[in-house]
Structure 1
Amino acid sequence: MTQPIRMFAAIRPDEFARLYDGATQEALGDLGDLVIGAAENDRVPVPPNVADSFDVLITSWSTQPFDPAILTGSRLKLAVHSAGSVRGLYPADVLTTGLRLVQGGAEAMAVAVAEMSVTMTLALLRNLVLHDRRFQSSRDWRTGGVGILGRSITAQRIGLVSLSRVGRHYARMVQGLGATELRAYDPYISAADATALGVQLCDLDELCETSDVLAINAPATAQTAGMIGAEQLALLRDDAIVINTARARVTDEHALLAELRSGRLRAGLDVFTQEPLDPQSELFGLENVVLTPHVAGGTVEARFAQGQIVMEEIRQFLTDGSLQHEVTAENYHRLG
């Protein structure tokens, strides 16, 4: 590229500051001219002349949806998404135009999401939230749960629905806590690769039949939608735990709610079919459920790591054209 590199960040300034710390912003500045867009109604629009005026487009959660046709032009060569899934902004068709696309946020958030999954697993195994709710409301030692026994993670059979980035981190973390019996269902990984992770592959029904904790780590795709339905949930033993920090669409939410209402299963849920979750949802108030408002990926460290990955991808692309986290026609529909 003979002309100075120009980058446009369609990201609200406050969000940009959470994603890009001082050192990363300085590194971006060393790569070329960076323009940060102005917000309109809490979102930042992508300028219609972006493809003729900029070499790199940087997007995130606060980017205003745009017509993908504006990405075709004489100059734009790279689009880098600082957040999670690219699918909300970039349809698969953009990959046929010559524009290269990067999903920069998912890898950085994977550790944080896995941490939340482990936190929910431990909280439910040790009845942490149940004790806290009862003790805080009653201020009574016995009402707070004296005599209620928890369970140790070291003795649990852990089932992983997908050895995705999050799934792999979750497996490593629970192994570090002493869990030794891990199985997974993932049609995209070889038995040898799973074994190297200390995980045994099996089919989905066997996974449900043999799991004390079922951790869902699969992205929402046409193939995974509803894959944990009433039939699979019925295979779980009484008092089994379901953890979902991935996507609600992977489960049959009505079937899961029925099991939770009955008290047969327990769950830790960070994602829901309707977000924000309806204040009238029957999930609220259930003692066997831990709920968080889709915050699993939200740590200070994860946000700054997202920005750093974006910067490093842009720098590498400008250096030799290589990318570590590229979205391609082959992996577009399988990515979270």
Structure 2
Amino acid sequence: MKIVRLAGSPLDFNQNHLDELERLGTVITIPQGAEMSQVLQQMNDADVLMTYWGLRSIKREIVEHAPNLKYILHAGGSIKSLVSEVLPDLLKRGIRVSGCNDAVAQGVAATALGLTIVSLKNIWVLSQYTRQGHFKGGEHRIHIKDVHDITVGVVGAGKAGRHYMRHMRNFDVRILVYDPVATDEQVRELGAERVGLEQLMSEADVVSIHAPSIPATYRMINAERLQLMKDRAILINTARGSIIDEAALIAELQKGRLWACIDVTDPEPPAPDHPFRTLPNVILTPHLAGLSQNGRTLVGKVAVGELRRYVSGEALQEEADLRALDVLA
């Protein structure tokens, strides 16, 4: 089996991963920035194409020059934009596609968990007070909470949302879920309650967004729904910036009654004078939720495991349903 690997960052695969790839087939590694002619020459008799984190799309000519291609494995997260140009060819030829979204989702969920804990503890504010010499934190100490006896709302029960809920089940909390796609059985298995979005926004002490960026979710978190949130509630977005109406969120934040942890904006990066950069009740991070140095090697581990399953004929764990691409993140 010939595997053509388009190589990206060296952080994605450690030497153990590379050694295992070599055991699974004949691996031809093409460095990032190589001429297209070099790629096409190797694709002529390739069975598998491995792509890398950061590659925006697979050019149609690559698939057209690969008559034996049966499987594409993306060593990264979402495959939506990656395959958009070649989707008709993939469907027509029955070429299978896997991503490594679960590896990314684990990092996103862990980030959301961390933001949940430190925000409930009011650590962001208390840290600044401590630096200024106010060791006891004054009135801000009364707003400290633990992840206990609170309601957590999860918008989106995909991979990241499910990992986040598994974290939450380690605590004594009530979990509400809004996801039109997840089944009642899936929600029950996650130890959560299915509710409407308005109920979730009005009852949750913490709202963590894990929905995909699709037309149905565009600015889904709008002015009316933000106004439903409790005073001192926490809004966490590690999904996509387009899901939130940023102008409406800014209006609520300027009232001082909410706290927001924003890892994604629309567009990215936010403008230099964007209020998210200066509002005291906003924590703004640079789209890092699914990214870390050791998390990148988890992508390599997942990719190798998925390729091993493909080679041995086992069921794939990360295969994408190409006919349902419109609802994928």
Q: 1:149 aligned to 132, 143, 154, which one? A: 143
Q: 1:252 aligned to 236, 245, 251, which one? A: 245
TM-score by length of 2: 0.90
Partners of 2:141 and 2:72 in 1: how far apart? 56
TM-score by length of 1: 0.89
Partners of 2:27 and 2:312 in 1: how far apart? 17
Q: Give how far 1:147 is off.
A: 4.1
Q: 2:130 aligned to 108, 116, 135, which one? A: 135
Q: 1:178 aligned to 172, 184, 200, which one? A: 172
Partners of 1:288 and 1:94 in 2: how far apart? 48
Partners of 1:317 and 1:296 in 2: how far apart? 29
Q: 1:48 aligned to 27, 33, 40, which one? A: 40
Partners of 1:150 and 1:246 in 2: how far apart? 26
| Structure-to-structure mapping, 1:160-199, within 5 angstroms | 160-179=154-173, 181-199=174-192
* Alignment partner, residue 152 of structure 2: 158
Q: Secondary structure at the match of 2:169?
A: helix
Partners of 1:219 and 1:139 in 2: how far apart? 43
Answering whether residue 257 of structure 2 is matched by residue 270 of structure 1, we say no
Matched to 1:218, the amino acid is A
Percent of aligned positions that are identical = 29
* Alignment partner, residue 254 of structure 2: 261
Q: Secondary structure at the match of 1:327?
A: coil
* Alignment partner, residue 115 of structure 1: 110
8 Å contact from structure 1 (residues 10, 44) kept in 2 = no
Structure 2: runs of 5 or more not aligned: none
Q: Give how far 1:293 is off.
A: 0.8
* Cα shift readout 1:139-177 (whole Å, capped 9, x = no counterpart): 443568764431222121111111111111111212213
Answering whether residue 279 of structure 2 is matched by residue 283 of structure 1, we say no
Partners of 1:69 and 1:227 in 2: how far apart? 37
Change (3 A) 1:60 1:102: same
Q: Give how far 1:68 is off.
A: 2.2
Answering whether residue 52 of structure 2 is matched by residue 60 of structure 1, we say yes
Partners of 2:80 and 2:91 in 1: how far apart? 15
Partners of 1:253 and 1:101 in 2: how far apart? 37
8 Å contact from structure 1 (residues 216, 246) kept in 2 = yes
Q: 2:93 aligned to 93, 98, 101, which one? A: 98
Change (3 A) 1:94 1:242: farther
Partners of 1:189 and 1:304 in 2: how far apart? 30
Change (3 A) 1:305 1:69: same
Q: Give how far 1:99 is off.
A: 4.9
Partners of 2:57 and 2:158 in 1: how far apart? 27
Answering whether residue 1 of structure 2 is matched by residue 9 of structure 1, we say no
8 Å contact from structure 1 (residues 44, 63) kept in 2 = no
Partners of 1:275 and 1:100 in 2: how far apart? 33
| Structure-to-structure mapping, 1:13-32, within 5 angstroms | 15=9, 17-32=10-25
Answering whether residue 221 of structure 2 is matched by residue 225 of structure 1, we say no
Q: Secondary structure at the match of 2:82?
A: coil
Q: Secondary structure at the match of 1:59?
A: strand
Partners of 2:19 and 2:214 in 1: how far apart? 37
Aligned alpha-carbon RMSD (Å)? 2.3
